[in-house]
């Protein structure tokens, strides 16, 4: 494949996108560079020309993941209908829920968490959560407790999606998944569907 030649600088982000998909599927250790290469429709030898190591490739994918998460939170701020701190946080939650509906960005974060012991990956993960937390805090103006709860319910959201219990009929699963939107939402309104998706209705 790759009939048309492109420059390395053009190709790199495409490989990152392929890496996100591949690593999201089977994690850092469970995914081979050949898997990523196949997803990107290039040879694995060329992946190593574009990235120095599997580790750096994963870090690149994770950084790109958080770029998109922060961007998504920004959209949440812009489309907030209720301009109070909690309203903004809620809108951010809605935007985030929409972003991770395809599960790749979500699973990548879960898998990254399981690879923290790799120093570069641990650092990238802390960098990502730092960006998200600071962005949520400064752009919403909410209290630390509200921001903490925002992240806590984000983590719950990751758990529910990982377990695949979004639409289970079992009672325990329904308890955990309550208010967390199904992936098959109507893609229309970014801000409106937010509701209580990531923790509005606690207390």
Partner DNA sequence: ACCATGAGTGAGTGTACAGTCACTCATATG
Partner DNA sequence: CATATGAGTGACTGTACACTCACTCATGGT
Site for its own copies in 29-48 (CB under 8 A): 29-30
CA 185/CA 188 separation, integer angstroms: 9
One residue of 16, 18, 20, 31 binding DNA per CB under 7 A: 31
Q: Which entry of its own copies, DNA, none binds 137, CB below 5 to 8 A by partner kind?
A: its own copies
The answer to the question of residue 82 lying near its own copies (CB under 8 A) is no
Pull the structure tokens for residue 84. Answer: 């109070």
| Ramachandran angles phi, psi of 117, nearest 5° | -65, -15
Which residue is listed with tokens 């960006």? 131
Residues 6+ away with beta carbon under 8 Å from 151: 129, 132, 133, 136
Q: Supply the DSSP string of 112-140, one letter for each residue.
A: HHTTTTSHHHHHHHHHHHHHHHHHHHHHH
The answer to the question of residue 181 lying near its own copies (CB under 8 A) is no
Lay out the site mask for its own copies across 92-131 (x = CB under 8 A, - = otherwise): ------------------xx-xxxxx----x--xx--xx-
For residue 146, the minimal CB distance to its own copies (Å) is 8
The answer to the question of residue 42 lying near DNA (CB under 7 A) is yes
Q: Which entry of its own copies, DNA, none binds 189, CB below 5 to 8 A by partner kind?
A: none
């Amino acid at each position: 494949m790759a009939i048309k030649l492109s420059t390395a600088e053009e190709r790199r982000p495409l490989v990152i996108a392929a890496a996100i998909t591949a690593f999201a599927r089977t994690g850092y250790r469970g995914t081979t560079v050949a898997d990523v290469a196949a997803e990107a429709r290039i040879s694995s030898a060329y992946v190593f020309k574009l990235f120095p190591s599997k580790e750096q490739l994963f870090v690149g994918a994770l950084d790109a993941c958080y770029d998109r998460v922060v961007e998504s939170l920004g959209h949440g701020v812009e489309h907030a209908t209720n301009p109070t701190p909690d309203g903004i946080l809620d809108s951010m939650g809605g935007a985030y829920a929409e972003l991770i509906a395809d599960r790749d960005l979500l699973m990548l974060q879960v898998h990254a968490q399981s690879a923290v012991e790799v120093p570069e990956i641990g650092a990238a993960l802390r960098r990502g959560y730092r960006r998200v937390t600071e962005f949520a805090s400064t752009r919403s103006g909410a209290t630390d407790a509200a921001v903490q709860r925002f992240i806590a319910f984000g983590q719950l959201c990751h758990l529910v999606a990982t377990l695949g219990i979004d639409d289970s009929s079992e009672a325990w699963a329904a308890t955990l998944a309550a208010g967390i939107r199904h992936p098959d939402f109507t893609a229309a309104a970014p801000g409106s569907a937010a509701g209580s998706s990531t923790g509005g209705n606690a207390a």
